[in-house]
Amino acid sequence: MSAGLLALVDDLTVLAKLVASSVDDAAAQAAKAGGKAITKASGIVIDDAAVTPRYVIGFAADRELPIIARIARGSLRNKLLILLPGALLLNYFAPWVLTPLLMAGGAYLALEGYEKVVDMVRGPSQEVDAASALGASSPSDAESAKVASAVRTDFILSAEIMAITLAGVATASIGMQAGVLAGVGVAMTLLVYGTVAVIVKADDVGASMALSGSGAVRTIGRGIVRGMPKLLSLLGTVGMVAMLWVGGGIITHGLHELGVHAPEEFVQGIGAAAGRAIPGAAGLVSWLVTAAISALVGLVIGAIIAPIAHRIFKS
C-alpha cells in the first residue's frame, strides 16, 4: 500500500474518531440537558399529564385517542417550528433575555400553582367550556375547539420547557443547541401525551376487564376503574406542589444570575442546615426542605401576581 494511501486511511480514521467523539458529546449533552429539563420542568410535565385528560371528557370513547393525537401534533409543531427557532434566535442575538424569560415562566408556574391552591381551598371556579364559548354547532366543531384550547395552553408550558432546556446548552454550538432542543421537545411530547393516552384509556381497559374474564381479572378491572379518579386527583396535587416548587426555584435562581444572591443563598442555607441536623439522610432532608421553601416562595409570588393578572385579563 502506498504511503499516500496509508496517510489517507490514517486521516480518515482520525476524522471518524472525531465524528464519533462529537456524536458522543452531542448525545451526552442532550442527555444532560434533557435530565435537567425534566427535573426543573417536572411541575409542568405532571400538571400537563393531569390536566390534559379533561379535554376529552364528553366525547365518544373512539374519539379520545384521536383528540390526544391532534393535541400532541399541535404541541410538537409548536416546539419544533415556532419555539425552537425562536429560542435559537434569541440566544444568538439577545442571550441576556433568557434569564428574564425563564423567570417570567417561573412566575407563570407560581401563578398557576397558587390558583390551584385557591381552587382546592375555595372550590374550583366555574369555567366556560371552550366549545360552548365558540358556539360549536357540531361534534366536529366541538372537538376542534377543545384541541385548539389545549394546544394554546400547551404552547405556554412548551415554551418554558424549551427555555429550561436551552439554558443548559446556551454556550454550545448552534447545531448542538438545535439537536438538543429538538430531542428534548420530541421526548417531552411523547412522555406527556403517551402518559395521557394511558390514563385516558385505563378506565376503558378496567371496565372491559371488569365485565369479562376470570374472577381475578374482574377484581383488577374494578380496582382500575375505582382507582383512576384517585390517581388523577393525586397527579393534580403533585403537579400543583411541583409547579410552586419549580416556579419559586426558577425565580430565586434567576435573581442569583442577575446579581441578587440573598434569596437563593438563604433557601440553600436553610436546606443545608436541615441536612446537617440529620446526617443519616442529609441529602434527602436538604432537598425536601429546599423544595418546601421554594414552594412557599412560589406561593407568595403567585399570590402577589394573581390580582394583577386578573385585572389585566379582565380589562
User: Does a structural domain hold residue 5?
Assistant: no
User: Does a structural domain hold residue 76?
Assistant: yes
C-alpha cell at 91: 440566544
As for how many domains the chain has, the answer is 1
Residue 113 contacts residue 247 (beta carbons within 8 Å):
yes
C-alpha cell at 80: 419544533
Would you give the distance in Å from CA 11 to the centre of its chain?
Answer: 44
Non-local CB neighbours of 81 within 8 Å, separated by 6+ positions = none
User: Does a structural domain hold residue 138?
Assistant: yes
Encode pLDDT of 96-139 as tens digits.
Answer: 888 898 898 889 889 988 998 998 888 765 544 444 444 455 67
User: Does a structural domain hold residue 294?
Assistant: no
Full residue range of the structural domain in which residue 91 is found: 23-228
pLDDT tens for the chain, 315 residues: list them: 444 434 444 544 444 444 344 444 545 555 555 555 555 555 566 656 666 666 666 666 677 888 889 989 999 999 999 999 999 998 889 888 888 988 988 898 899 889 989 988 887 655 444 444 444 556 777 778 878 877 887 887 788 788 878 877 878 888 888 988 998 889 889 988 888 888 888 877 888 888 876 778 888 888 888 888 788 778 778 878 888 988 898 899 999 999 999 999 999 999 999 999 998 888 899 989 999 999 999 999 999 999 998 888 765
Non-local CB neighbours of 122 within 8 Å, separated by 6+ positions = none
Q: For residue 269, what pLDDT is reported?
A: 94
Nearest to 117 by CA among 247, 264, 270: 247
User: Does a structural domain hold residue 89?
Assistant: yes
User: Does a structural domain hold residue 234?
Assistant: no
Q: Quick count: other Cβ atoms within 10 Å of Cβ 314?
A: 6
Whole-angstrom distance, CA of residue 156 vs CA of residue 163: 11
Residue 103 contacts residue 224 (beta carbons within 8 Å):
no
User: Does a structural domain hold residue 182?
Assistant: yes
Alpha-helical (H) ranges within 258-281 are: 262-277
Encode pLDDT of 145-171 as tens digits.
Answer: 878 877 887 887 788 788 878 877 878
Whole-angstrom distance, CA of residue 37 vs CA of residue 177: 14
The pTM of this model reads 0.70
User: Does a structural domain hold residue 13?
Assistant: no
Locate cell 395552553: which residue?
153
